[in-house]
Structure 1
Amino acid sequence: MGVHPAAEGRFRHRGAEFVYDDAGHGPLAVYAHGGFASQAQEDRMGLFDWAPVLDAGRRLVRYDARAHGRSTGRPIAADYTYASLADDLLALLDHLGAAEPAVGIGASMGCGTVLHAAVRAPDRFSRLVLLVPPTAWATRAAYARANTAAADAVEQQGAEAFRAAEGRDVRPAVVADVPDLPPTPDERVLPAVLRGLALSDLPAPAEIAGLRHPALILAWAGDRGHPLATADALAACLPDAQLRVARTRGDIRTWGEHIAEFLRPRRSPAADEEGDPVPPN
């Protein structure tokens, strides 16, 4: 396993400064994290192992979403819908000078971000990796009501009200040992983030069905906020998708290897006959 130091970069877009970590060399993959977290928090949680992706010869850019982690943001709910966050992701690709289609990787909120970006600009992406897809469509309404109530509670009682409500939720067994960390959006902007996510949903199934990108869906079991029903529906909608479900913490630790394998170039029958590799995408 190689050592892949990351360089920090910054860019500005729509009233916010974004901070990202840029590591590795090769075809570009961009990762969007889950809601209320950050790159540093996910590293502390030990959720995902990116080393296999870097070892496989990928340039991996991971960024802190608007108002999360090191990135700044305004207290405007419309800034935090999936569609708005997708605009941020496409702006990052512009900033990086991505001339070729990139791999879009997203977890939870980031999954929504990547799907909206791919529907809007399919030519900007070569493949999609969708981690722990969130509530969507029929299951979204209850999540939206809970987020709106949480936003009201934060405004009335402070950010500790949000943490207290989270603490009452039963955590899925598959991630029961993951550290419980506070939300990274600060108290000034957290209600807007919650309301923006309450206004969000994945693209319509018919729009997703129009995507022709190879897709890898990685889900885990027993999580009401990330139900397997969404992952199953995405696998059924996407024309070229494979789905893996983690039922133990050990299963999640293999996800980096599964992503690396998925991103290896596919070979055409003609290339196999001639012995020439297909260029990576």
Structure 2
Amino acid sequence: MARWNLTDHTTGEPVSLAYDDEGEGPAVVQLHGLTSSRARDRLLGLDIIAGLTDHRLIHYDARGHGHSTGPRIPGAYAWPRLAEDLLDLLDHLIPDEPVHAVGKSMGVGTLLHAAVRRPERFSGLTLIIPPTAWASRVAQHDAYVRNADLIERRGLRHWSSLEKRLPLPPAVRPDRPFTLPDVAEDLLPTLYRGAAATDLPTVGELADLDLPTLILGWLDDPSHPLSTARTLHEVLPDSRLAIARTPADVATWPGRVADHVDAVAERGAAGVRGRR
């Protein structure tokens, strides 16, 4: 594990990002979801890029998650702030070439803000279970604020006992282990309030984002509604959408992502050959 230390562009607070940088070849970076981490993704079988053995693979814990640090200010966890962290880390590790980026849930928000801001940093995108956005973000805002209030009043143990009772989407394996957030309990309410107050880029901004994009969604998950995935597919100029209905469908995702990464790389190579 390595670290990259930076300063929040808005608050001036220090941030330290923990990351892994392994392998050789074209770079692929993976971003986890809210309250998760590199370690939690691996435990839950969500390290989607692990099989890309001929690539340079970068995983990192978002600020405030896992082994990364972050300010105790909700606004510091808005997706545009997380996008700045991603771009700073990529400029540090891979300053001279675009990367393929894979994000899940909150990671989708981070990626899209980063790509809208600096599309040249990316060769392609993979967006996995896009979160609530635009109209559906209103109800999610209220849910996150309730989570923050409940954790402060009753503690993480009580909150987690309620979370365990929630039904899983049909595409999630029923034997998947229940895991606590990989976030310090006293910081978790801050992260939830920050997530409550953020959203994806506007549809107009996304319509100009001409990057090859694979979108992977699943059924019956209010926090990751298909309405977001479908709107992204309609709006992004160069996108494909696949919807998982069963755990067997989700099991195909690493292969789908590998195929997409290879297709994007081949397209880029063809473009270089065509300019010679």
TM-score over 0.5 for the pair: yes
Question: Once superposed, what is the RMSD of the aligned Cα atoms?
Answer: 2.1
Q: Which residue of 2 aligns with 1:18?
A: 17
Q: 2:183 aligns with which of 167, 182, 185?
A: 185
Query: What does residue 232 of structure 1 align with?
Result: 230
User: What whole-Å deviation, never above 9, does each CA across 1:230-274 have from its counterpart, x for those lacking one?
Assistant: 111000010000011111112212111111111113359x969xx
Equivalent position of 2:45 in the other structure: 46
Instruction: Give the unaligned 5+ runs of structure 2.
Output: 8-13
Q: CA deviation at 1:278?
A: 7.8
Query: 3-state SS of the aligned residue for 1:52?
Result: coil
Tell me the SS of whatever aligns to 2:186: coil
Aligned pairs for 1:119-198 (under 5 A) are: 119-175=116-172, 176-198=174-196
Change (3 A) 1:98 1:167: same
Q: Is the 8 A contact 2:27 2:58 kept in 1?
A: yes
User: 2:105, 2:270 → 1: CA distance?
Assistant: 37
How far apart in 2 are the matches of 1:239 and 1:248? 28
Match of 1:5 in 2: none
Answer yes or no: is the 8 Å Cα contact 2:48–2:257 preserved in 1. Answer: no
Q: Is the 8 A contact 2:36 2:182 kept in 1?
A: yes
Structure 1 residue ranges without an equivalent (≥5): 1-7
Offset of 1:70 from its aligned partner? 1.1
Paired positions, count: 266
Change (3 A) 1:100 1:278: farther
Structure 1 residues 75, 161: CA separation in 2 closer, same or farther (over 3 Å shift)?
farther
TM superposition shift of 1:277: 6.8
Distance (whole Å) between structure 2 residues aligned to residue 158 and residue 233 of structure 1:
37
Spell out structure 1 runs of 4+ moving beyond 4 A.
276-279
Contact 1:49–1:253 (CA under 8 A) maintained in structure 2: no
Structure 1 residues 128, 278: closer, same or farther in 2, change over 3 A? farther
Equivalent in the alignment of 1:266: 266
Match for 2:80 among 79, 83, 101?
A: 83
* Alignment pair present for 1:117 and 2:117: no
- Is contact 1:101–1:124 with CA below 8 Å preserved after alignment? yes
Distance 1:192 1:267, change over 3 A: closer
TM-score between the two structures when normalised by the length of structure 2: 0.91
Give 1:91's aligned amino acid: D
Distance 1:48 1:243 in 2: 20
